[in-house]
Every structure is written in C-alpha cells, then in structure tokens.
Amino acid sequence: MAAKIDEKDLKRIREQLPWLDGLGIEIAEMGDKRAVLTLAASRDVLRPGGTVSGPAMMTLADAAMYFAILGTIGLVEMALTTSLSINFLRPPPPGEMRAECRILKLGKRLAYGEAFIYSAGADPEQPVAHATMTYSIPPDRPAPPAGTAS
Amino acid sequence: MAAKIDEKDLKRIREQLPWLDGLGIEIAEMGDKRAVLTLAASRDVLRPGGTVSGPAMMTLADAAMYFAILGTIGLVEMALTTSLSINFLRPPPPGEMRAECRILKLGKRLAYGEAFIYSAGADPEQPVAHATMTYSIPPDRPAPPAGTAS
Amino acid sequence: MAAKIDEKDLKRIREQLPWLDGLGIEIAEMGDKRAVLTLAASRDVLRPGGTVSGPAMMTLADAAMYFAILGTIGLVEMALTTSLSINFLRPPPPGEMRAECRILKLGKRLAYGEAFIYSAGADPEQPVAHATMTYSIPPDRPAPPAGTAS
Amino acid sequence: MAAKIDEKDLKRIREQLPWLDGLGIEIAEMGDKRAVLTLAASRDVLRPGGTVSGPAMMTLADAAMYFAILGTIGLVEMALTTSLSINFLRPPPPGEMRAECRILKLGKRLAYGEAFIYSAGADPEQPVAHATMTYSIPPDRPAPPAGTAS
C-alpha cells in the first residue's frame, strides 16, 4: 500500500468512525487518488425486500472518498463531506459489496470524486449505485502529535 | 396523527429498519406530504471534531422522506430511494437534530421531496444540511396481510 | 428594489451574459438573499412535444441564483457556479416561466441556494422543476472601475 | 457510426433543438451507450473572466446524454431529462470543448449516465466538469412517420 498514511494513524482514524465497524466496512485498497472499500454481507444492512439499504451504501461511498483523500494527502482528520449525490441503479442482492472511488479533482481546499458500488463478483458494467462527492479540506493541516485525541 | 398508516404497521416497518433505532431516530410528525424526524444526541454519531457525522444525517434525511411517503399514501414497504443529494451547510454542534421533509411531487411511480436538517433549537434560517430525494413507488401495492414478513 | 447593486452595474453585467437576452430572461425581483426571474414564452426554448427545454430551465435557475447573490452582496462578476443539480418534476406547457430563488447559506467563499421553477399562473404547490446550486465567491472583490471590461 | 439512428432522423431531431446550433454543438461520435459532442469556441458562450459559461456546459452534457440514448435505442424524440447534476471542477480557458458521455444504466423507462467535459487538447486526467443525468424514456415508442412533426 503506497498510501500516504501509516497503519497506526489509519487504525486511530477508524476508531473515531465506529459506524464503519458497525456496518462491516473494510479498506481493501488505498492509493494515489483512489480507494476500494468493502461492505460485509450482514442482516443488519438489509431492508425489506432483502436488498442492501440505501444508507449503508451512502456510508460506504462517503467512506471510500474519505480514505481516497487520506491515502493521497495523508492524515486530514477534519476533511468533511460538503456534498454527496447518489443514484441507486439496481437493487443489490444480499451479499458483500464493493465501492471503488477515484478523486477527479484534488485542490487545496476541495476534493471531488466519484464512487461506483458493485455487488461482489458482479459485472463491472453493472454498478449497483453511483455517487459523486465533494469534501472540504482544512487550509492548514499539521499532523497532530501521535496519541492526541482530535 | 392524520398519517395514512396505523401504529401497528408503523411499528412493524421500524423493526425492519434496525439502523433507525441504532441512530436514535424517532418520528415526531407524519402527515400529508410531510414528516419530521429527530436524531438523538449520542456519542455514536459524532465524528472527529465533535460534529454529527454525514452518514447519520443522510440516514435521517432518507428516513424522513420514507415516512413522509408512508404518511401520505399508506403502507408501501418497497418504496426505494432512487437518488439522494445532500449538501452540508454548517458543521452541527453535538446534540439532537431534526429533519423536516416535504414531498414536492407525488406521482404514481415516483416521489420527489426535500428535507432540511436543523440542530435542535437552532434558527430555522440556519439549516445544517439540505437534501433532495427521489423514491420509486411500486406500481401496485396491495397491503400484505398483517403479520406477513415482506 | 433594495438590491445591493445599482441599475447601471446590473445593465453592464447583463450585457456580459448575452444568452439571458437570447432566452428572454428578465429579472422580476432582486433582494435580500432572493431573486425572481422570468423566462419569456418563445418558440426558441421549446423542445419536441411542445415543452420548455431542460437547458432553458437550467439557465434560468442558474441566473436566478447569480442575481440573488448580486442582490445580496453587490457586484461580484466572478462569482461562479461550482455545482448545479436540477430535478424536472412536470413537463411545463409552452408559456412564460418563473424561477424563485433563495439563498440558504451565504458564506465568505461559498453560497448555496435553491430555486423553484413554475409555469406562469400555476399552483405554487406544483413546481415544474427544483434546483439546488453552489456558487464560489472570490475571496476579495474590489469593484472594478466603471467601464473596465472584466 | 454504428448508432441506431440514421442520418435523416438525426438531422430532423437536430432541427427541433435549435439551441444546439446556437451554441455550436456538434456530434463527434455516437455509438453503443456512448456519445462524444463538441462545443465550438465562440464569444457567445464566454462569461465575464473569459471562461465558458456554466449553462453552455450544462447544455452540452445534457445533449451528450440525449444522443447517447438515441445512438443506443434509436429514435426516441420524447426522451426527457428528469434530473441533471453538474460539478464544475476547473474554469476552462476559452476554446473548443468536448463532452464524453456514457450510459451506466439503460432500463425500460429510465436511463442514467455520466459525462466528462474537457477543454480540447487537455489532459484526460483534468476534466473541466462532470455531470450525471437521468432521462425518462416513454414506455412505447413507435417511430413517427417520416416528415411528421412531433
């Protein structure tokens, strides 16, 4: 992993985002302007009809963008979503899902990217959902001393 | 509550959406083309910096639209979000939040609406977030027999 | 008109946006965090089926936000749209249209607002389209000397 | 061109969308689930600051999606935009622009796709704008007799 964030910082960040564990979201890849995250198959994210819930997919897309940013510019705890737009294209079957995010613009203050969400093992021509997201990046971002709660 | 759904069906629907309880989301009002929902102040929804997480607000907005639809046309378990777009306007302080949703179009197959999210007790001129949402509504929707899992 | 821009500057700005005249877009009201613009009934904006074209309505919504900003903070020629999202809710009949825009957040660098588009004389409960928009506002904005091309 | 629409129908459709000629929009490619359109460099689409106007780019993206649909399923005059969302990433210099659109879902009633807009000759890693669009497709669509106004 060539991501500009080390395992220790990544672990600390994750502990501050407990809903990721709650949904079974894992980071599969992090690198230059991109990230791939997975969402575990679990009963907790299914909605009536047996399909994965919209909010679970929104959370997955949003997290994919966050980690794509962190993997590219390093530790920026206060990067915040300023907008997210998601279209649900096909009801996904129950099962693991995967979000593939890439950053389309990385400015000093704003990052913009898109994420495709797939059912595990599905045709890459058949995304389940597509999201676009804008994040604001704090103007100055000294890395906090290790062990400091932010 | 003049909502076109009774307490028993509402309770059953909520049991199928366990993430609402997980976030402390409650229905405050449901009525003709509108709904008001609240999100409890809790540590679980806070992100670094002490602000309520984006995914918690997305889930709140999405649920507000769902219950605005159910309150207007009755039990439609398979109403599904087809798109959601949210803009975060101000970082909310920790504390209870409120989403006010109204439906702007209710067609046979699609509903479109918007939700404003506020910090409890805040100025109505100062929304924390603004979302627009489209839901698809199944073409025929006979109410399932009571007690049937859907 | 309590708008913070005088008639002379407004006239000059309009001359720099020739597509407004091309579509027959007029400013009906400009004031504190809001603007109302009209789009003339003309053959040029109709698409097959006799309905007003999407691009004409997008242009109308975008201009309504621009003039709402100018009416609130004065002459800012370089305010630029950073995002626009529009949902078309009902095909409008041929005829004059009206966009009502209000600004929901006006920060130092970003403005966010929404616009409802109506057919002239139509029910305010039946908007034809709904748009949300974000504009960036240049950090410092001295008014250019009169007569200077920008 | 393997597009499922012949030159004669395409010419007729274009005559019904006169704003395309007004902006100097041309179809460069049309094919299976995709289309590439160009926007001529002209003074008429420039806004203060010398950058191509937002509405011109919105119109370009919207048209790219329309012709991607027509190139895939044939003549559907009444395909209508139901939503469009665009993010402007970099102010484009004056000059020709290009929109590359691909359809991500083509259902019986709805099509969803995205378009990237570039300055001519620019780095494909540096899009000027990114749009997502949903079109509704009429349920039955017999081709009208040639020469019939629709």
Question: Rounded to a whole number, what is the largest CA-CA distance in chain D?
Answer: 47
Of B54, B83, B91, the CB nearest to A62: B54
pLDDT for position B145: 44
The token pair at A85 is: 């737009």
DSSP A43-60: GGGEETTTEEPHHHHHHH
Chains that touch D (3 or more CB pairs under 8 A): A, B, C
Q: How confident is the model at residue D119 (pLDDT cuts 50, 70, 90)?
A: very high
Asked if the model's pLDDT at residue A149 lies above 80, the reply is no
Read off the pLDDT of residues D50-64 as tens digits, 9 standing for 90 and up. Answer: 889 999 999 999 999
Asked if the model's pLDDT at residue A145 lies above 60, the reply is no
C-alpha distance from residue B10 to each of A55, B64, D62, D112 (Å): 19, 13, 41, 33
Chain D residues with CB under 8 Å of A127 CB are 104-105
Whether the Cβ atoms of residue C64 and residue C115 lie closer than 8 Å to each other: yes
CA distance A5 to A3: 5
Identify which of A140, A4, A135, A147 has the alpha carbon closest to the alpha carbon of residue A61: A135
CA distance B22 to B65: 18
B84/A58 touch (CB, cutoff 8 Å), yes or no: yes
B85/C127 touch (CB, cutoff 8 Å), yes or no: no
More confident site: A4 or B65: B65
Read off the pLDDT of residues D121-133 as tens digits, 9 standing for 90 and up. Answer: 778 789 999 999 9
C-beta contacts of A121-128 below 8 A and 24+ residues apart: A126/A90, A127/A89, A127/A90, A127/D104, A127/D105, A128/A52, A128/A57, A128/A88, A128/A89, A128/A90, A128/A91, A128/A92, A128/A97
Burial track C35-73 (b if 16+ CB lie within 10 A, e otherwise): bbbbbebeeebbbbeebbbbbbbbbbbbbbbbbbbbbbb
Interface of A with C in 73-112 (CB under 8 A): 83, 85
Interface of D with B in 111-150 (CB under 8 A): 134
- Report the amino acid identity of residue B34: R
Q: How far apart are the first and last CA of chain D?
A: 25
Give me the count of residues in chain B: 150
The token pair at A15 is: 């502990």
- Give the predicted TM-score (pTM) of the model: 0.91
Chain D residues with CB under 8 Å of B134 CB are 83
A88/B80 touch (CB, cutoff 8 Å), yes or no: yes
C77/D49 touch (CB, cutoff 8 Å), yes or no: yes
Helices (H) and strands (E) in chain D, counts: 3, 8
DSSP state of C43: G
How far is CA C137 from its chain centroid?
16
Interface of D with C in 20-39 (CB under 8 A): 22
DSSP D38-52: EE---GGGEETTTEE
Average pLDDT over residues C113-125: 90
Average pLDDT over residues C87-115: 94
Q: How far is D77 from chain B (nearest CA, A)?
A: 22
Chains that touch A (3 or more CB pairs under 8 A): B, C, D
A62/B55 touch (CB, cutoff 8 Å), yes or no: yes
Q: How confident is the model at residue B107 (pLDDT cuts 50, 70, 90)?
A: very high
pLDDT for position C147: 40
Which chain A residue has its CA at the smallest distance from C109's CA? A109
DSSP D83-130: EEEEEE-SPPPSS-EEEEEEEEEE-SSEEEEEEEEEETT--TTS-SEE
Asked if the model's pLDDT at residue A147 lies above 70, the reply is no
Of D16, D44, D84, the CB nearest to C54: D84
pLDDT for position C146: 45
Helix intervals (H) in D30-139: 54-73
Asked if the model's pLDDT at residue A70 lies above 70, the reply is yes
A55/B47 touch (CB, cutoff 8 Å), yes or no: no
C132/B127 touch (CB, cutoff 8 Å), yes or no: no
Q: How far is A52 from chain B (nearest CA, A)?
A: 11
Helix (H) or strand (E) holding D116: strand D110-119
Which chain B residue has its CA at the smallest distance from C33's CA? B125
pLDDT for position D148: 36
Read off the pLDDT of residues A26-69 as tens digits, 9 standing for 90 and up. Answer: 999 998 999 999 999 877 778 777 789 999 999 999 999 999 99
The token pair at C136 is: 């960036």
CA distance A149 to B3: 45
Read off the pLDDT of residues A3-24 as tens digits, 9 standing for 90 and up. Answer: 789 999 999 988 888 889 889 9
A134/C83 touch (CB, cutoff 8 Å), yes or no: yes
Average pLDDT over residues A135-141: 81
| 3 state DSSP class of C1 | coil
CB atoms within 10 A of CB B15: 10
A47/B16 touch (CB, cutoff 8 Å), yes or no: yes
CA distance A84 to A112: 10
The token pair at A104 is: 């389309």
- Picking from D72, D82, D88, D89 by the largest number of A CB atoms within 10 A of its own CB, the best residue to mutate is D89
DSSP state of A17: -
CB pairs under 8 A between C and D: 90
B87/C132 touch (CB, cutoff 8 Å), yes or no: yes
Which chain D residue has its CA at the smallest distance from A106's CA? D89
pLDDT for position A2: 66
Q: How confident is the model at residue C2 (pLDDT cuts 50, 70, 90)?
A: low
D132/A87 touch (CB, cutoff 8 Å), yes or no: yes
Chains that touch B (3 or more CB pairs under 8 A): A, C, D
CB atoms within 10 A of CB A33: 18
Q: How confident is the model at residue A140 (pLDDT cuts 50, 70, 90)?
A: low
Across all residues in chain C, what is the average pLDDT? 88
Average pLDDT over residues D115-126: 89
| 3 state DSSP class of B5 | coil
Q: How confident is the model at residue B3 (pLDDT cuts 50, 70, 90)?
A: confident
More confident site: A2 or D39: D39
Q: How confident is the model at residue B113 (pLDDT cuts 50, 70, 90)?
A: very high
CB pairs under 8 A between B and D: 4
- Picking from A83, A109, A133 by the largest number of C CB atoms within 10 A of its own CB, the best residue to mutate is A83
CA distance B116 to B35: 11
Q: How confident is the model at residue B143 (pLDDT cuts 50, 70, 90)?
A: very low
Average pLDDT over residues D12-35: 91
